[in-house]
Structures are given as C-alpha cells and as structure tokens.
C-alpha cells in the first residue's frame, strides 16, 4: 500500500508539474508564434498597400480584387514627369503693359513598368495569400469611392481574421487575443489595412511592427 501510495503521489507530482509548466510557457509560446505570424502577415499587407497606392496613382481608384491588382502590376506603366516653375511676359489688355506670368511646366521624362518599379521578382503573385504555413487562406479585399466633405474619394480595405492566422493555437488564449484592447497590440479580432469609411491607408497594428520591418 505504501509503495502504491508513493507511485500515485509521484504521478500527481508529474501531472501538477506539467500543468504549472504549461500554464507558464503556454502564453509565452503563444505570444512568440503570434508575433512571428503577425509580422509576416503585416509585411504582406504592406506590399498590398504599395501596389494599391500605385494602382490609384495610375488609374485614379483602388483595385477591388486581387486579380485586377496583379494584372495591373504586370501591365501597368508609370509616367515619369518633372515639374518646374517658369515665367513669361504677356501683354495685359486691362493695364496695357507687359506683365509677368508664372506657370508650372510639366515635362514627361519617360515611362517605367509598374512591376519593375515595385517588385524585383514574382512575389506579387502571392499578394492574396495569407502567409501562414499549413493553411490555404486569402485576404479579404474591397474598394469603393465615398463622399468625404463634398469630394468623391477612393478608399480600400484589406483584412484577415486572427482566427485564421492563429488557427492551430490554444483556443482560450486565442479568445483573449481576439478581445485585445491595448496600445501595443493589434486590437480586435482582425488585422485590418485601410478603411471603407475613412480616407486611410494605415493598418490597425502598433508601430512596433513598422519599426521591426
């Protein structure tokens, strides 16, 4: 009986020790995985932002889907221009004298493919893919033109759920992460770039992810 009791106590000690170890290291491992995956996802979203801004500069609006965005990268052309101040004398009929007129002269210097300017390889073809190993998931992307203070302004939004990014992590810790409200965390259940209601191309992540990049 004594030996049996000792064996049971040893088993309980091992179980409790593991639980204590897991309660301490579980959140640590979760945070390490979370930060690594968030960094990869945010870097991909920055590439999307770069392409979207180029799309708007050339075509006046943002792309509403990734097929259009990738097609633009492959076929779009940047026009290189130079602006310079100039002036000339013009006869003024009112004052009956020559008066100095100042103008801005725009010179076209040439044309450059968007792909060569923004990307050095074919990585742009993966812009829609959420860069998390073990899943086949895509970012949600939308674009629109809204009325802001009497002006029609293009806007876009790209987002992905934390449940997708951290699909294989502890469910309780993931639930806590989805409810995050912190100045140094990604608040809410999604990582979001841009907005469909505000004129913004910023993300909802803290500046630490920009500093690391």
Domain range list for the chain: 38-76+117-212, 77-112
Per-residue pLDDT reduced to its tens digit, 108-122: 777 788 998 899 899
Residues with Cβ within 8 Å of residue 7, at least 6 apart in sequence:
none
Q: What is the dihedral of CA 115, 119, 123, 127, to 10 degrees?
A: -80
Per-residue pLDDT reduced to its tens digit, 122-144: 999 999 999 999 899 999 999 99
Nearest by Cα to 142 from 126, 129, 159? 159
Please give the average per-residue pLDDT across 25-29, as a whole number: 83
- Report H helices in the chain: 2-59, 66-75, 114-118, 162-165, 171-178, 208-212
- DSSP state at residue 68: H
Please give the average per-residue pLDDT across 13-36, as a whole number: 72
Per-residue pLDDT reduced to its tens digit, 169-198: 999 999 999 998 887 789 999 999 999 999
- Whole-number pLDDT of residue 8: 59
Strand order across the beta sheet in which 151-161 lies: 140-148, 151-161, 190-195
Q: How confident is the model at residue 1 (pLDDT cuts 50, 70, 90)?
A: low
């Amino acid at each position: 009986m004594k030996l049996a009791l000792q064996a049971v106590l040893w088993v309980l000690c091992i179980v409790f020790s593991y639980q204590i170890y897991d309660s301490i290291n579980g959140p640590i491992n979760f945070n390490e995985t979370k930060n690594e995956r968030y960094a990869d996802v945010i870097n991909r979203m920055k590439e999307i932002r770069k392409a979207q801004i180029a799309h708007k500069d050339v075509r006046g609006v943002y792309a509403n889907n990734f097929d259009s965005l990738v097609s633009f990268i492959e076929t779009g052309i940047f026009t290189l221009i130079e602006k310079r101040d100039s002036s000339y004398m013009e006869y003024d009929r009112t004052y009956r004298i020559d008066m100095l007129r100042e103008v801005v002269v725009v010179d076209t210097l040439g044309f450059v493919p968007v792909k060569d300017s923004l990307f050095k390889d074919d990585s742009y073809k993966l812009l829609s893919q959420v860069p998390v190993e073990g899943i086949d998931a895509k970012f949600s992307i939308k674009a629109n033109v809204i009325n802001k203070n009497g002006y029609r302004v293009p806007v876009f939004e790209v987002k992905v759920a934390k449940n997708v990014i951290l699909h294989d992590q502890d469910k309780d810790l993931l639930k806590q992460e989805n409810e995050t409200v912190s100045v140094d965390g990604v608040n809410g259940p999604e990582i979001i770039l841009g907005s469909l209601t505000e004129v913004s191309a910023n993300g909802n992540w803290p500046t630490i992810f920009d500093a690391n990049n």
